């Protein structure tokens, strides 16, 4: 890790080896954060770290191994010298047209169990510190059930609900904790590569800039890109019988 000023804000991003997490790590680094990045693939972590313009630290971490991941995130916090911002960007969306059990199980392992492991570790750290900023990358897919990928939509609904609950808990406990729920639409990432029927697809750098802006403004909820708020409103008000026929 390179040297950093003690007054620098310190951000840790879980799932920073590709997609939104990688782009956001680079964006926050450009904005003056010391950045800790975590992910499963060591070679990709090194590649991302080489592109960061400021101080950084890395940690191999697999949220599908939650007990180990909690220890590793705490080690990354120590290596970075603290944490002011935690972004949980790890997530999977596994195509499963046959509705086999293993892909559904693996989606839940990362997007629910792994998410909770990182969120609780972050919440407990911020509670001990007296405050901070917790960000979860959920999805607009979490607003309603999606027949194409049931476990993915349901897992993102869980994340939305969990973030809301942590926000309420922090307020009840008098914590100075900001909780931000980022709900992307379609973003050009490896997870969306090759999918059909996509529209309003945002480049990952544009998405990262808007996410960083939402973090700076301490937004509770932000749709990425902004126009997806229109789709969110429609999705929330669309009758179930219409969704079943789409």
Phi and psi at residue 177, in whole multiples of 5°?
-115, 125
**Of residues 33, 152, 162, 223, which has the active-site annotation?**
152
Q: What does the alpha-carbon distance between residue 75 and residue 17 come to, in Å, rounded to a whole number?
A: 18
Burial (Cβ within 10 Å: 0-12, 13-18, ≥19) of residue 50 = exposed
Q: Is 152 a catalytic residue?
A: yes
Q: What does the alpha-carbon distance between residue 21 and residue 41 come to, in Å, rounded to a whole number?
A: 13
Mention every residue, 6+ apart, whose C-beta is less than 8 A from residue 44. Answer: 17, 18
Please choose, from the candidates 164, 10, 139, the residue with its C-alpha nearest in 3D space to the C-alpha of residue 77. 10
Measured from the Cβ of residue 35, the count of other Cβ atoms closer than 10 Å reads: 32
- The DSSP call for residue 105 is H
Tokens of 100: 């086999």
Q: What does the alpha-carbon distance between residue 115 and residue 123 come to, in Å, rounded to a whole number?
A: 12
Q: What does the alpha-carbon distance between residue 60 and residue 70 come to, in Å, rounded to a whole number?
A: 12
Please choose, from the candidates 185, 193, 129, 135, the residue with its C-alpha nearest in 3D space to the C-alpha of residue 160. 135
Tokens 């992307």 belong to: 184
Please choose, from the candidates 24, 14, 85, 78, the residue with its C-alpha nearest in 3D space to the C-alpha of residue 51. 24
For the annotated catalytic residues, the residue numbers are 152
């Amino acid at each position: 890790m390179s040297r950093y000023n003690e007054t620098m804000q310190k951000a840790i991003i879980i799932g920073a080896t590709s997609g939104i997490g990688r782009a956001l790590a680079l964006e926050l680094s450009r904005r003056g954060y010391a950045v800790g990045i975590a992910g499963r693939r060591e070679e990709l972590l090194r590649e991302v770290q080489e592109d960061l313009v400021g101080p950084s630290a890395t940690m191999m971490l697999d949220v599908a191994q939650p007990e180990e991941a909690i220890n590793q995130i705490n080690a990354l916090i120590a290596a970075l010298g603290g944490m002011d911002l935690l972004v949980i960007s790890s997530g999977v969306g596994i195509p499963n047209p046959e509705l086999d059990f293993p892909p559904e199980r693996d989606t839940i392992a990362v997007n629910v169990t792994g998410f909770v492991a990182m969120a609780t570790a972050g919440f407990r750290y911020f509670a001990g510190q007296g405050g901070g900023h917790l960000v979860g990358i959920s999805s607009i897919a979490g607003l309603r059930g999606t027949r194409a990928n049931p476990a993915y939509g349901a897992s993102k609904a869980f994340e939305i609900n969990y973030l809301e609950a942590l926000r309420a808990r922090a307020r009840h406990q008098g914590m100075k904790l900001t909780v931000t729920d980022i709900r992307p639409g379609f973003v050009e990432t490896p997870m969306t590569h090759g999918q059909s029927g996509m529209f309003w697809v945002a480049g990952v750098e544009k998405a990262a800039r808007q996410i960083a802006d939402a973090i700076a403004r301490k937004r509770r909820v932000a749709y990425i890109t902004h126009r997806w708020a229109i789709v969110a409103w429609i999705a929330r008000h669309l009758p179930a019988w219409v969704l079943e026929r789409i």
